[in-house]
Amino acid sequence: MKRVLSVFGTRPEAIKMCPLVLELERRAGLESLVCVTAQHREMLDGVLKTFGVTPDFDLNIMSEGQTLSDITAKVLTGLGPVLDAAKPDLVLVHGDTGTTFSAALSAFYHHLPVGHVEAGLRTWDRWSPYPEELNRCLVGRLAELHFAPTARNRENLEREAVEGTIFVTGNTVIDAMAYTVNDRPFGCAALNGVDFQNRRVIAMTCHRRENYGEPMENIFTAVRELALAFPGVTVVYPVHLSPVVQRAARSHLEGLPNVLLTEPLDAMDMHRLMDRSYLVMTDSGGLQEEAPALGKPVLVLRRETERPEAVAAGTVKLAGTGRAEILRLASELLTDPAEYEKMARAVNPYGDGQACRRIADAIEWHFGLRTDPPAPFTV
C-alpha cells in the first residue's frame, strides 16, 4: 500500500483537491491522507463540508492580516512533525499559494517526492500574480511528478526543463463542478432574493494582492459607475474575508440598490451563481476556468493571465485594471447582443471532468501499480 498525503490550505486549493482526495480514496492500492494548513479557515472549512472531506491533520495556522512570511514559516515548521508521523510515499500540493510552496519545500527537506497538481501555469512575470507566479515556478523545481492541466502548461514546464515526469490531465476544477452545479435553491438566503429571470446579473469577485490599492480602487469605481448606468442589472459580489478587500469593497460599493455584497459563498452557491448569471467579472484564477465551461463571458480584472486558453477561444477578455476600459467592455456586453453572443459559448479548454482519474492513474503507474500511464487530456 502506498501512502499519498495531500496538503492544502486555501479555498481554491480545496475546491480543486477535494475531488482528487475522493478519487484517491477509491483506489485499493493507495492510502489517502489529508493535511490542511488552514491558511484560510472559514473559507476552507466550507469547502471541506461541501465535499465531505475530513482532514487527518490540521495545522490551523491562519491569523488576521497574516504576512507571506508568517504563512511560509508556520507551514514549514508545522508540517515537519506531520510528515514524520504520516510517513507518506508521496506528498501532493496544489497550484501556487504560500501553503503550496512551503509544503513542497518541507517535503523536500524530508527527502519525500512531491507531486504538483495544476502545474505549469505561467505569466512569465514574477510580480504578477504576486507571489503566486514565483511560488509555482519554485514548486516546479521541487516536484518530481507534474500534473499539468493543459498541453500549453506542459510546454511551459518543458521550457523550464523541470525534472521528473509531466502528465497532461485537465484541471480538477471541472471534476469539482460535477458535484456543485445544479438547479437547487441557494444556501445563501440573500441570493434566493435575486430575480435571475428578469434582471441581468453580473457575478463578480476581486481579491488579489497585486490589485490592492489603486487597481482595486479603479475596479470598484468602474463597477460603481456600471451599476449606476444600468439600473436593470444586479451585481452580486461575495467579498473575500481579507480585511484589505473588505474595507475597499464596502467603501466603494455599499449602499447601491443594485449591488449585493455577500459573505464568501460556498462552492455550490458560487458555481450556481455563475450558472445563473449573465456575465462574470473577476480577478480570480478559478473563475476563469469555471465560467467558460458554463458558457458565461468573463472580463478578467487583471493585466495578464496564466490561463490564455479561454482568451484564445474568445470567451474571456483581459479588461485590465483601468476604470475606463473595464466600464467600456462591460457596457459593450450589456448593450451589444452580437458582441455578447460571440463570447457566450460553452468551451472547455481546461478539462473534461476526468482529471482526478488521470492523476490517480498516473500515481498508480508511478508506483508500479499499473502498466500504462494515462492518455493525456486533449481538447
Site for ligand UD1 in 12-41 (CB under 6 A): 12, 39-41
Using CA atoms, how far residue 112 sits from 87, 116, 207, 234, 369, in Å, is 9, 13, 33, 50, 19
Lay out the site mask for ligand UDP across 33-72 (x = CB under 6 A, - = otherwise). ----------------------------------------
Whether 235 contacts 204, CB under 8 Å = yes
Assess 284 for contact with ligand UDP (CB under 6 A): yes
CB of residue 196 to ligand UD1, shortest distance in Å? 25
- Name which of ligand UDP, ligand UD1, none residue 39 binds, using a CB cut-off of 5 to 8 Å depending on partner kind: ligand UD1
- Name which of ligand UD1, ligand UDP, none residue 261 binds, using a CB cut-off of 5 to 8 Å depending on partner kind: none
Site for ligand UDP in 220-239 (CB under 6 A): 238
Q: Which of 155, 41, 32, 165 is nearest to 99 (CA)?
A: 41
Q: Give strand pairing partners of 165.
A: 145
- Name which of ligand UDP, ligand UD1, none residue 22 binds, using a CB cut-off of 5 to 8 Å depending on partner kind: none
Quick one: which segment of 182-190, 283-291, 308-316, 358-366 binds ligand UDP (CB under 6 A)? Answer: 283-291
Run of H or E including 348: none
Read off the amino acid at residue 229.
Answer: A
3-state secondary structure of 307: coil
Whether 167 contacts 358, CB under 8 Å = yes
- Name which of ligand UDP, ligand UD1, none residue 30 binds, using a CB cut-off of 5 to 8 Å depending on partner kind: none
Assess 205 for contact with ligand UDP (CB under 6 A): yes
CA distance 283 to 300: 6
Is 158 tagged catalytic? Answer: no
Site for ligand UD1 in 173-212 (CB under 6 A): 207, 209
3-state secondary structure of 93: strand
Assess 135 for contact with ligand UDP (CB under 6 A): no
Is 89 tagged catalytic? Answer: no
Cell readout for 215 is: 487597481
Q: Which 8-state DSSP code applies to residue 211?
A: G
- Name which of ligand UDP, ligand UD1, none residue 315 binds, using a CB cut-off of 5 to 8 Å depending on partner kind: none
Is 366 tagged catalytic? Answer: no
Q: Please, is 124 exposed, middle or buried when counting C-beta atoms within 10 Å of its C-beta (0-12, 13-18, 19+)?
A: exposed
Residues annotated as part of the active site: 96, 118, 132, 207, 209, 240
Residue ranges that bind ligand UDP, judged by CB under 6 A: 11-12, 15, 205, 207, 238, 264-265, 267, 270-271, 284-287, 290
